[in-house]
Chains A and B, each alone.
Chain A
Amino acid sequence: MQYSDIVMEHFKSPKNIGRIENPDGIGEVGNPVCGDMMTITIKVKDNRIDDIKFETFGCGAAIAVSSMVTEMAKGKTLEEAMQITNKSVAENLGGLPKNKLHCSNLGADALHKAIMDYYHRREGKTKEPRKFEKVEHIEKKEGKCHCPYCDAEITEAARFCRKCGSEITLDK
């Protein structure tokens, strides 16, 4: 597996594991269908991320990304944290294998969602965190299936996309 030393380090000893009780913001992204799901909870104090924790279902890269993004966000102002990009997370990890870059997208997305959730709550618009959505949401574009969350192509023969309507046959 082509993971950098930093990725392996964060994967083996991830920082900020868990879920904050009564958080100020929750960000949930991904879906087990795609192989990755991430939940980030934050505590905000004086407009800064006072505490942050994550829970992740996913590959080594997804876990390392979660750990790294929480480390990067900790102590930052909300504005600063919103500036953390998928790219900067991947860079801080010493790069990710090409087919794993989508995992880094989840990290920053989950963080931003948690911050947005905090803003919503503050404005009194408490939003229910998104529950795990089923596979039916996969869309079919130009005969190919795409995961709605990471937008990855799910090709490998029509049978695989039966949840989006195709028959389980290689027949045309």
Chain B
Amino acid sequence: MDLIYFDHISGTPIHTAVREVMIKYIEQGGFYNPSSQHHLGDLALETLEDARSKVAGLINSKPDEIVFTSGGTESINHAIKGVAFARAKKGRHIITSNIEHQSVSRTLRVLMNMGYQVTAVNVDRYGLVDPDDVKKAIRDDTILITIMHANNEIGTIEPIAEIGRIAREKGIVMHTDAVVSCGNITVDVEAMNVDLLSMAANQFYGPPGVGALYIRKKTPIYPIIDGGTQENNQRAGTQNMIGIVGMAKAAELASIEMPSRTEHLLKLKRYFLERLKEIDEIVINGHPDNSLPGLVSFSVEYVEGESMMIMLDEKGICVSTRSACASGSLRASHVLIATGSDYATAQGTLLFSFGIDNTIEQIDRAFEVLKDTIGFLRNISPLYKKK
């Protein structure tokens, strides 16, 4: 049975070219510490700075504004806590949205327990933040605005440039969680007016466990991992060189191949959406146009997401669900509830996220299984009125 992987939002496969440079780097040593004073240290430093330039190139920043981290979550923690601590004397109010990833919302909750105040603006039915709402939420003591670039559950792309402009006018630091967007759609820190931007390599065919935080010069921010002077005093600890080398290659490829990748992903997405019309009572989540090219979130009425996901998994098709059960708690997705979905419908949500190696033929195969699965589960559902 051929495996069909439609869960790129949970992690993309490591690109063969990325794998090759990582293996080559290990074979050439792989352990040299860029902080060492001898020539092996110099070699590593050169590799590190080259990687930094490549990652900077992906988001149109200067190389010395890139801080390598252990991934998206660390970058986000660093951005939010770093600014909160550095600005604590100026103010303790932070603005966010109500559809953020847990790495944002839980970080903010920790800060709330420490006395910070947080305003979460609502989104519309497509998951879009209204920049005006952000503007209205600004107070004299607002120190940070953190709104995600693209949503990881419904794919909606937020108007970050507009929100960033508002933040800049008011002298408020602007962070965006670009973990699922960076490397997949155009991310330009200048055009987006952001001071901080979080990214992760495993969202654009790089390895997991490595990411970066963009820090615009003069942004007030403290490190959250203290120790040595690595990463321009922003992130202590010897760099994950093998991961960084892989991330740089992935960033380079993403920059070059983005147009063709996007075209391919959109083709898959449109085809899948077209086929979904064959099943009645399915709700498509997220913005119809302004969303990630490879992601389709849909809710199937009268059935629960996890049961569909497992049945697909049994047939070798890997997808995700944001249903409460699968995430280990009993909650429906906070993102879907925020967009006005009712609880029962939200429970029946599946997330198909396509990647560059997926094909139309795979979609056709998966769709047949999906159709059978929905039929089977609706048949045993007390909510489904049999026709």
Contacts and interface: CB of A to CB of B under 8 A. Distances in A.
Tell whether A pairs with B: yes
A116 interface: no
A159 B249 CA distance: 40
A33 to B, nearest CB: 4
Contacts of A154: 329-331
Contact of A157 (B313, B326, B334, B383): B334
A150 B108 CA distance: 29
B303 to A, nearest CB: 7
Interface residues of A, number: 48
B347 interface: yes
B120 A159 contact: yes
A57 B301 CA distance: 10
Contacts of A11: 307, 310
A170 B105 CA distance: 9
Contact of B326 (A8, A59, A102): A59
Interface stretch (A36-44, A86-94, A118-126): A36-44
A79 to B, nearest CB: 27
Contacts of B381: 55-57
A62 B304 CA distance: 10
Contact of B380 (A17, A33, A172): A17
B314 interface: yes
Interface string B220-253: 0000000000000000000000000000000000
B343 A135 contact: yes
A168 B330 contact: no
Name, among A32, A38, A62, the residue most crowded by chain B CB atoms within 10 Å (CB to CB): A32
A160 B337 contact: yes
A152 interface: yes
Contact of B122 (A18, A153, A168): A168
Given A55-B382, A56-B380, A152-B330, A32 B343 contact: yes
Q: Is the interface of B mostly helix, strand, loop or mixed?
A: mixed
B204 interface: no
Given A35-B347, A57-B302, A59-B323, A170 B383 contact: no
Interface stretch (B45-53, B111-119, B186-194, B283-291): B111-119
A46 interface: no
A93 to B, nearest CB: 15
Given A63-B380, A168-B120, A150 B330 contact: yes
A12 interface: yes
Interface string B300-338: 001110110011011000000001111011111010011
A169 interface: yes
Given A39-B382, A55-B381, A59-B325, A171 B119 contact: yes
A28 interface: yes
B363 to A, nearest CB: 23
Interface residues of B, number: 40
Contact of A35 (B311, B332, B380): B332
B307 A170 contact: no
B314 to A, nearest CB: 7
Contacts of B330: 34-35, 102, 147, 150, 152-154
Interface in A80-123: 99-100, 102
B16 interface: no
A59 to B, nearest CB: 4
A156 interface: yes
B380 A170 contact: no
Contacts of B329: 99, 152-156
Contacts of A168: 98, 120, 122, 338
B107 to A, nearest CB: 11
Interface string A1-29: 10100001001101001110000000010
Contacts of B347: 32, 35, 57
B24 interface: no
A97 to B, nearest CB: 9
Nearest to A32: B344
A58 interface: yes
A60 B307 contact: yes
Contact of A171 (B117, B304, B325, B337): B117
Contacts of A172: 112, 117
A172 B383 CA distance: 37
B77 interface: no
B359 interface: no
B343 A33 contact: yes
Interface string B88-117: 000000001010000001001100100001
Nearest to A17: B380
Interface string B339-355: 00001100100000000
Which 5 pairs of residues, A with B, have the shortest CB-CB distance? A32-B344, A55-B382, A59-B325, A152-B330, A59-B306
Interface of A: 1, 3, 8, 11-12, 14, 17-19, 28, 32-39, 54-63, 99-100, 102, 132, 135, 147, 150, 152-157, 159-160, 168-172
8 contacts: A11-B307, A32-B343, A33-B344, A35-B323, A35-B325, A100-B325, A169-B98, A169-B119
